[in-house]
Amino acid sequence: MKPTAPAFLRSGIKQPATLFRAARSGFVRGALTLAVVFSFAGISLADEGGVSFWLPGLYGSLAAVPQAAPGWSLYTFEYYTNVSASGGVAAARQVEIGGSTTNVNLSLSAKLQAQVDLEWVQPNYTFAAPVFGGQLTLSLGEFVGWQSANLAGTLTGTVLGGPTGVRSGSITSSVTGFSDMYPSAALKWNDGVNNYMIYGTGDIPVGAYDSTRLANLGIGHGAVDGGAGYTYFNPGTGREFSAVAGLTYNLENPSTNYQNGVDFHLDWGASQFLSKQVFVGPVGYFYDQLSCDSGSGDRVGCFESRVVGLGPQIGYLFPIGNMQGYLNLKAYGEFDAAARPSGWNAWLTFSISPNAPTPATPSQPIITK
């Protein structure tokens, strides 16, 4: 038997994009979060020392749906992750912080363990005037928080054409402060049940970073990222599916003369609205480095990274005066990882934005992100 859609989904509104702006926030609210490019430098994602510019999971359900109303909005989330790695990832990190000046063949009987607890803060402005027929949003975001990392074991390094050295011990590091800054821009279009977006974002390397420190909140280099997304949303059933794909080009790290390769990322989400306020569904991501690392500071070779994430989500929409509030909780478990630490991560999102005008039916709830 086909389930009956909630009344607000069967209201006949022709612009579903304006109804479900808030929901998309929990899954990293489309263009407004596309700037949320992360950097837990010493511990996590891919490329140099296992760290990437892009934070997998930024996008999810309703990512391409335009915002309900123009004006200012605020998007925040708390991000917690616990990851570990051994072998090549731990070895590469050891070489990076050690400042090796020669090419080496490495073997490492060790483990890299890291924890991160960060708060993302991002103001956004959505323009009322259409740009190329779409809705333009500009954003600027930054993390503040804490990270700790530990590397313990035995590293054996053979200099090419030279002697072999062995180093044993443990390195522990922690840092509290601010990350790099992440500006972004996005254009979104709605056409019935189909929604489209393009976005661009980048990294301004001003965060806490030291190439000789194991834990960092900045990545030490600039980067640019761009991509496109699509959302199918049927207000009659309350069902949707979204996918956003992009590419990252990394600039060389001037502290280490190391340049990360080109990265591909795909974030997706699906959801079912159970009522006008609650929705549930799965989320996932796929991250893959397409080209080798390079630069005169690359002492460990190609070092291409990959990871897959999958998990659940739940979102809740509620009024705050004449504004729209939104809470979302989602979590990912990671698998099929290569050349990067992996584990699990959790996101608790809160956003507040202006409600859309409701001239036809003032009592009808409007979801705005």
Question: What per-residue string of b and e applies to 53-84 under the rule 16 or more CB within 10 Å gives b?
Answer: bbbbbbbbbbbbbbbbbbeebebbbebebebb
Using DSSP's 3-state secondary structure scheme, residue 65 falls into coil
Contact 36, 58 (CB under 8 A): yes
Cα dist from 38 to 112, 178, 203, whole Å: 19, 12, 9
The CA distance from 192 to 221, in Å, is 41
The CA distance from 338 to 306, in Å, is 5
Segments of the chain assigned E as strands? 71-86, 104-126, 135-159, 164-191, 194-203, 223-234, 239-250, 263-273, 278-289, 306-320, 323-338, 342-354
Nearest to 55 by CA among 141, 126, 172: 141
Q: Is the pLDDT of residue 300 over 90?
A: no
Give residue 45's pLDDT band: very low, low, confident or very high (50, 70, 90). very low
Domains of the chain: residue spans and CATH: 7-354 (2.40.160.40)
Q: What is the mean pLDDT of residues 302-323?
A: 90
- Out of 111-115, 116-120, 176-180, 275-279, least confident range: 111-115
Q: What is the mean pLDDT of the chain?
A: 77
Q: What is the mean pLDDT of residues 343-367?
A: 69
pLDDT score, position 36: 28
Q: What is the mean pLDDT of residues 34-58?
A: 52
Left, alpha or beta for 312 (phi > 0: left; psi -120 to 50: alpha)? beta
pLDDT score, position 70: 92
Q: What is the mean pLDDT of residues 181-187?
A: 97
Which stretch of DSSP H or E encloses residue 89? helix 88-98
The CA distance from 276 to 107, in Å, is 55
Residue 52 tokens read as 């990437």
pLDDT score, position 225: 97
Using DSSP's 3-state secondary structure scheme, residue 16 falls into helix
Give residue 299's pLDDT band: very low, low, confident or very high (50, 70, 90). low
Q: What is the mean pLDDT of residues 143-164?
A: 69
Cβ neighbours around 192 below 10 Å, total = 13
Give residue 330's pLDDT band: very low, low, confident or very high (50, 70, 90). very high
**pTM, to two decimals:** 0.76
pLDDT score, position 11: 31
